Each structure stands twice: as structure tokens, then as C-alpha cells.
Amino acid sequence: MDKERVIKILFYDFEVFKYDWLVVVIDSDTHKEHIIINNRDQLEQLYEVNKYNIWVGYNSRHYDQYILKGILCGFDPKEINDFIIVQHMDGWQFSDQLRKIPLNNYDVMPNPPVGLKTLEGFLGSDIRETEVPFDINRKLTRKEIEQTVFYCRHDVEETIKVFIEKIDDFHAMYGIVKAFPDMVNLSNIGDTEARITSKVLGCVRKNFRDEFDYFFLPCIQLKKYKAVQDWFEEKKREALSNNIQGKNDAAKKAWYKAQSFEMIVAGVPHVFGFGGLHGAPDKPIHKKGLLLHVDVGSYYPSLLLAWELVTRAATNDNYRRVYDTRMSLKAAGKKKEQAPYKKLLNALSGAMKDITNPAYDPRNNNCMCINGQLMLLDLIEHLEVVPGLELIQSNTDGLIIWIPDTDEAFNMVDDICYDWECRCSTEKCNISLGLDVVSAIFQKDVNNYLWIDAKGKVERKGAYVKELSRIDNDLPILNTALVEYMTHGTPIEKTINDCTDLIQFQKIVKLSDSYKWVEHEHGNPELVQKGVRVVKTYYNYTHTKRYTYKSYRVFASKDMTDGRILRCGGKRGRPEKFGNTPDHCYIFNESVEGVQTPEKLDRQWYIDFARKRLKDYGVSA
């Protein structure tokens, strides 16, 4: 990469029809907009000027970059479009010619994928869609071209907003490129984290034939719960005798997914498998007192280094270099600077199990996951001797426990944890435990909880209480109401009734490909009651309005003439209500940025819904 060159960022989006194509490109430095319609020469000129810059798109890793390259190669973009969208093929498979067009493409689409319109909805933007069908079998009219340009420009502008919200991810990837110029360059900035990790480690694909020759580490001292280790040994014999390694990738993944072992550990139901362990009481928990979060710092990366389980496909010692750099930056409190290194460390785990990745080493991945679980199980077994200890939850890299608030109990825990650290660490790398004091916890299950530490810092996980962002913003008022109640005791109804920002009440729904259209009930409803022992009451509407948009922003309505929003044309043959939507709602797909709540907003629906969610945590309010 030329260090003297000033790198610019361009945002782009293509629209392709049978007889027309267009692209909108916005230069982030000059704010100049380029609109190119059916003109390969203009596109080539723009590309030649900016071929060494970064092109940012939404889903451009899978779509737009191949449309751009295809047009430059002289292919019909509609053929590439159909190859990708209709035939569900990867764009690079269309022609080897595409590889000859270098492009520094960066895709802001999240993983797992989320449609741009959904994120636009979360942002509060206008989510109305073009009326020009993409399967139109003729040249577009001037008016249709203008409308397509309008919506394409809108999508590029929204892509810029998403990029800004995810700027830390970009800086992390760019940081990797700058940190390892001998292994990667700017063309790799659009790679997945797993792919760029394999390049930094200099991985050379190897055909390992020992996927199930995993072994157990000598530091593990299980007695009471040794049945779990025995189960993994049994699975090893089963996999070898049935030649699971020789199965195709889909069959092998299905086998892995089907393997699980359930056991009561420390009085708590646990599930073990080839992915990780999870354990939590059957009932929700709200507990105060001396709670400890026993956390293994950078668990998997430390385990890989301590026991020499880094992928055998690596040809250098960069994983150690990345680890040491990240730990130094973390110790110095440099959160942003350590982000690129943290991504590399964590990405290797998935890369080692991905058959398409050069870092593929399934045996070492199995060793890491299995021993990681057994080591934590070992820790739980040894902690059980602490009088009065209660296990609140266990997960992939740590535990939450409750102990009596005495020096004796705390010192016992501290001594057991120190002994575990000494047994599990090696001269290659320390595996360290952190003991963070938690003052209160609200727990629905192992994947949904909120706790408050001794300094008042809040840690939260799960859809109901997670920290939302501008691009993860569905029914945000519910999360706010629950968190305010849990952390400050604020009544649910106060949080909801005091809020006047309409976006906080939005619910975004998207019509999937399994359905064909949407209907919104309206008019004067008839109250209907059905059933004998259990009587169900609902409103029957005789009128509906039909829509074919993909995305909708809905709000609970006090207006009884507003009915349900329904997805139609599915396999069941009858309309179905979108999940988590009210029986009386209205659609507002225009921008809600800065819009105040109207009188018709049914706040009581949100209050009832929030209380229902809070009850899932074992709390009535």
C-alpha cells in the first residue's frame, strides 16, 4: 500500500433491470455525486480515477462489486444480477474475468445479514420504496429512471449513515491492514474477519484427516462430573467409527448440531456440546448480595496459546504477536487501539471450523471447545466446596456465583481460582480469572440478563435489555423501561408515559420471501367471542388495505378503526399477524426523526408489553 497516497472513500449502489442499469456514487471527501445511467465509458472513467480508493456499499461484497466489475468487463449486468439473485450463486463464480478488476470494496452489511431497509427503519429514516418493479420487461421511461435514481440516491445516503454508526468496525479492519502490511493490503479491507485473520497468520490450506483425534488436557481434574468428559470420549469413538469426517459439510454440521449432553451441575441444569457449555436455573432469578462474576480473560485465545492449539495451518507466530499487543493495549486502557487485535484473536475460532478458510483445523478447534468446557466444569466442581455457594449461571467463558458475604467464603473462592489458574496456565501463556463483584442481577436465562457491579456499571445481554443503537432500534422504549426499572427502580409507566420521541415506540417489520403482500385492517370492527371453556375475544374488520412494500414501521394505536398488520400469501393460506405487533396499529413509513408522539399512540400497549417482559425475569411491577 502506497503510504503517500491519500485514500478516499466512495459510497455506491447499483440498480439493475433487464434493459437498463444505473449507479449512484457519492465521494465522501468532495460530497460530489456521480449518477451514471447505461454508460460503460463513464463508469470506466470514474473507476480509473478511483481504483485505488475504497468503495463502500451495502451487500456490495456479494452483489454490487460484481455488477461494477462485470460492466467493466463488457458483460450484461442483468445476467450477473440473475446469476446472483435468481440462481443464488456467488458473484465471483460468474467469470474468471471479474478477478482481473481490482477493487477495494468494503461492505457495511452486518453479519448475520440485515436488510438495508430494516436499518433505515431503525435510523428513523423514510422507508418508502420505489414503485418501479425490478422485473419490468422493457426499457424504463424517463419518469421511472428519475424515480429509481431518487431511491438509489436515498439508499447510498442511508449507507453512509450506517457506515458512520459502524465506523469502529471500519477502523478496526483498516487498523489490521496498517499493522500487518507484509501480510495484507488495502484490497483485503472488505474481507471477513475470519478471512483476513487467515492471511495475517499466513495460513496455507492443509488437508487434515484427524478432526476427531481430539485429546483432553492434563490440567483437568474431574471426579464428580467426569461423566461429561466420558461423553466426549464416547462421541469421539462414534465419529471415528461412522466416518463423520468423511461426510459432506452439510451432513457433518448436522451431526455436530445434534450432539448435546445434559447434566445437573451444582444444582443447575447444564448443556454440553461441541460449541460450548451453558447452564442456568430453570426459573428466573433476581438476586442481591455478594455475587461474583468469575471471568476467564480472553479465554479461547489464551487457551490456544497456552496449549499450542493455534491452527496448524499458520506459517508464522503472528497470533502470539497479536495477543501480546492486544494485552498491552488493554492494560493501558486503550480500548479503540486494541480493537483490531481483538477481532483477529476472536475470529480464529470460527475460521478453524470453516472448511473454506485456509485456517481450517477442525481438530484443534474441537480441542479448544471441548477442553474449554471441561476446564470450566472443573472450576465449578472445585468451587462447590465453598459453604453456601450458589451457581447463578455458567457460559462459554465464565461463571456467576453467589456466596455468603464473609471473608472466609471469599478467600476460599479466591484460593480455588488461583489453584485453577496455576493448573491451567503453561509457560507459553497464562490463563487468568477475574473476580468482579456484582451487587444485583436480573436473569431470565443464560442468554438474557442484566447485572450491576459494585461501581454501578451495568452489564446486559439479550434482546429485552441489550444496549440499543441507532441501527439496532426496535421497540427501544421497552428496553429503556426495563433497564430503568432494574437499575434505578423507575416505574415502567413513568418511563413510557414521560417519553415524547416517536421513534422510541417504533416496531419495524419486514415481509419475508415466504409471503407475497401485506394487508392492514381498518374500518369499524365487530367484537367477536369464540370458545366455550376458554373464550377468546378479538375484533373482526371487514376492510383491509393492501401493500407490497417489504418494510413497515408500525405503532400501537388507540384508534379502534386501526386494525392488525398482516402478512399474506404464505404457505398456510391465511393472513398472519406480524410478531410483537399490536391488534390496533398504524403504519408510518415516512421519516420519524424529530417527530413527537401523537395523541393516538397507545402507550398502555407498551406498558403492558414491558411488564410482560419484566415478568419473564421473575419480577412483577
Domains in the chain, start-ordered, CATH in brackets? 9-166 (3.30.420), 226-299+362-462 (3.90.1600.10), 492-615 (no CATH)
pLDDT digits (tens, 9 = 90+) for 380-406: 999 999 999 999 999 998 999 999 999
* Statement: residue 532 has pLDDT above 90: no
Give the 3-state secondary structure of residue 262. Answer: strand
The stretch 410-420 carries a mean pLDDT of: 97
Report how far residue 46's alpha carbon sits from residue 65's, in angstroms, rounded to the nearest whole number: 14
Contact 61, 91 (CB under 8 A): no
User: Which among 87, 52, 82, 56 has a CA at the least distance from the CA of 67?
Assistant: 82
CA–CA distances in Å: residue 211 to residues 77, 240, 308, 462, 501:
42, 9, 16, 33, 54
Looking at residue 4, its pLDDT comes to 57
- Tell me which amino acid residue 598 is: P
Cα separation of the two ends of the chain: 59
The residues near 573 (Cβ < 8 Å, ≥ 6 apart) are none
Q: If pLDDT is split at 50, 70 and 90, which confidence band does 531 have?
A: confident
Report how far residue 259's alpha carbon sits from residue 274's, in angstroms, rounded to the nearest whole number: 7
Residue 40, all three cell numbers: 460503460
The stretch 135-157 carries a mean pLDDT of: 96
CA angle 543, 546, 552 (to 5 degrees): 115
pLDDT digits (tens, 9 = 90+) for 281-323: 999 999 999 999 999 999 999 999 999 999 999 999 999 999 9
pLDDT digits (tens, 9 = 90+) for 203-248: 999 999 999 999 999 999 999 999 999 999 999 999 999 999 999 9
The stretch 338-363 carries a mean pLDDT of: 95
Report how far residue 555's alpha carbon sits from residue 603's, in angstroms, rounded to the nearest whole number: 10
Number of Cα atoms under 13 Å in the Cβ half of residue 26 = 16
* Statement: residue 2 has pLDDT above 50: no
Contact 281, 268 (CB under 8 A): yes
Looking at residue 424, its pLDDT comes to 97
User: Which among 219, 206, 230 has a CA at the least distance from the CA of 422?
Assistant: 219
Return the HEC string of 567-608.
Answer: EECCCCCCCEECCCCCCCEEECCCCCCCCECCCCECHHHHHH
Find the Cα–Cα–Cα–Cα dihedral 77, 82, 87, 89, rounded to 10°: 30
* Statement: residue 415 has pLDDT above 80: yes
The stretch 10-16 carries a mean pLDDT of: 98
Looking at residue 533, its pLDDT comes to 82
Task: Please confirm whether the linkage preceding 491 is cis (ω < 30° from 0).
Answer: no
- Tell me which amino acid residue 470 is: R
Indicate the burial class of 440 (C-beta count within 10 angstroms; 0-12, 13-18, 19 or more): middle
The stretch 33-41 carries a mean pLDDT of: 98
Give the 3-state secondary structure of residue 287. Answer: strand
Give the 3-state secondary structure of residue 131. Answer: coil
CB atoms within 10 A of CB 427: 6
For 458-464, the CB contacts below 8 A with 24+ separation are 458/483, 458/487, 459/293, 464/613, 464/616, 464/617
pLDDT digits (tens, 9 = 90+) for 97-115: 999 999 999 999 998 899 9
* Statement: residue 156 has pLDDT above 70: yes
Give residue 586's Cα distance to chain centre: 29
The residues near 123 (Cβ < 8 Å, ≥ 6 apart) are 158, 161, 162, 165, 470, 471, 473, 593
pLDDT digits (tens, 9 = 90+) for 64-90: 999 999 999 999 999 999 999 999 999
Task: Please confirm whether the linkage preceding 181 is cis (ω < 30° from 0).
Answer: no
Element (H, E) at 449: strand 448-453
Helix and strand element counts for the chain (H, E): 17, 23
Helices (H), 74-126: 77-85, 116-123
Contact 274, 369 (CB under 8 A): yes
Element (H, E) at 364: helix 362-383
247: phi then psi, degrees, rounded to nearest 5: -75, 165
26: phi then psi, degrees, rounded to nearest 5: -120, 125
Report how far residue 150's alpha carbon sits from residue 569's, in angstroms, rounded to the nearest whole number: 30
User: Which among 408, 419, 202, 205 has a CA at the least distance from the CA of 316?
Assistant: 202
For 179-183, the CB contacts below 8 A with 24+ separation are 179/340, 179/341, 180/318, 181/1, 183/318
User: Which among 414, 366, 3, 412 has a CA at the least distance from the CA of 216?
Assistant: 366
Element (H, E) at 167: helix 167-179
The stretch 118-143 carries a mean pLDDT of: 94
Report how far residue 329's alpha carbon sits from residue 335's, in angstroms, rounded to the nearest whole number: 7
Residue 4, all three cell numbers: 503517500
Looking at residue 1, its pLDDT comes to 43
Is the torsion defined by CA of 373, 379, 380, 382 positive or negative?
positive
CB atoms within 10 A of CB 187: 15
The stretch 427-452 carries a mean pLDDT of: 95
Looking at residue 242, its pLDDT comes to 95
Contact 617, 284 (CB under 8 A): yes
- Tell me which amino acid residue 18 is: K
Report how far residue 348's alpha carbon sits from residue 172's, in angstroms, rounded to the nearest whole number: 16
Does the model's pTM come out above 0.85? yes
Please tell me the least confidently modeled range out of 262-276, 344-358, 528-542.
528-542
